[in-house]
Structure 1
Amino acid sequence: MLVLGIDPGTATTGYGLVRESQDGSLHLVGYGVIQTPAGLEEEKRLLLLYHKLNELILLHAPNAGVVEKLFFRRNVTTAIGVGQARGVVLLALAQHGIPVWEYTPMEVKQSVSGYGNADKRQVQLMVQTLLNLEEYPKPDDAADALAVAICHLHHYRWKSFEKGSGR
């Protein structure tokens, strides 16, 4: 199974592609960020994000798309921008018929590091370890997207196990 993890944002959207083999091992396919120019009008930034996502989807044909759920405490302006980017991500995935799952930041941290309140560095180190990378992935947005993809693969494996055991 090939999973496309996405950490949405208007200025920077992180993406990570992780494949799980039959034996359960995880393999990095690719990761990076989609950046939009700061001076560009909001609607053009979203359109650029949409086109870049479509290119990624057509190039890799993922089996699943995973997006981090929106979570914010203080900055409403940032939350609105992230919400708009999430909408573009969900639209692109839906147009290609790719099933979408969403996880909270706490679920991602718990799944990847074993601790729901893990800090960013702990999650990055676990992503590095789980994908057998020489260094942790950068920038943070891409590392977060890989963590979201890994989270889904762990959850999907568990759900498949539950179904197979008759639970």
Structure 2
Amino acid sequence: MTRIRILGIDPGLQSTGFGLIEKEGARLYYLASGCIRTDAKAELPTRLGTVFESVREVIAKYAPTEAAIEEVFLNKNPWSTLLLGQARGVAIAAMTTAGLPVAEYGTMQIKQAVVGHGRAAKTQVAHMVIRLLSLAGEPQADAADALACAICHAHASGTLQALDRSGARRRGGRVLVRA
């Protein structure tokens, strides 16, 4: 049975969560998780560079075969959304320059995959991450979100592989099934 190693990323300028899991068949195994923190007093380019280099270090250390990242959600503050988008962009650049295929998932999609309800609270997501991965304790909030993103991808990747075998095509994030 093939094992895939998935890197999940919960992007943020102040704190970017990362989580690594392995999937073998229907089983999921926890590997590592943590948070990449940037210096709030540093200039924006320096902070973005920290996110980029740190994601590259995680990739070099754990050698994932696939990656998943949470999509940007709209904040009430447009400036916060812009900063989040920039942090997300450098994380994606770090993953793609390392040769990883990157999947993107919305917050509600991740919650649905992990909890079974798209409007679940963060505490419910963290609790299910602990249960699904048999963790001894609760990971940091951003790390739990990154692990949830990786779990979402683990569930979705099996479905996408089955659709690929059926002759479906993917274009622009959509799956086109031949009738």
Give the TM interval when normalised to the shorter protein: over 0.9
Matched with 1:156 is 157
Matched to 1:154, the amino acid is H
Report deviation, 1:53: 1.0
Matched with 1:119 is 121
Matched with 1:136 is 138
Q: Distance in 2 between matches of 1:114 and 1:44?
A: 39
SS in 1 for 2:19: strand
Is 1:84 the counterpart of 2:86? The answer is yes
How many positions carry a matched residue from both structures?
Answer: 165
SS in 1 for 2:110: helix
Q: Distance in 2 between matches of 1:99 and 1:63?
A: 8
Matched with 2:23 is 20
Report deviation, 1:50: 1.1
Report deviation, 1:164: 5.4
RMSD between aligned alpha carbons? 1.5
SS in 1 for 2:126: helix
SS in 1 for 2:154: helix
Q: Distance in 2 between matches of 1:63 and 1:146?
A: 15
- Percentage of matched positions with identical amino acids: 41
Structure 2 gaps of 5+ residues are: 168-176
Matched with 1:104 is 106
Report deviation, 1:60: 1.2
**Partner of residue 69 from structure 1, selected from 71, 81, 85:** 71
1:43-99 deviation digits (Å, cap 9, x = unpaired): 001111111111111111111111100012412121111100011011111111100
Going from structure 1 to structure 2, the CA distance change for 1:63 and 1:123 (only over 3 Å counts) comes to same
Matched to 2:69, the amino acid is V
Matched with 2:39 is 37
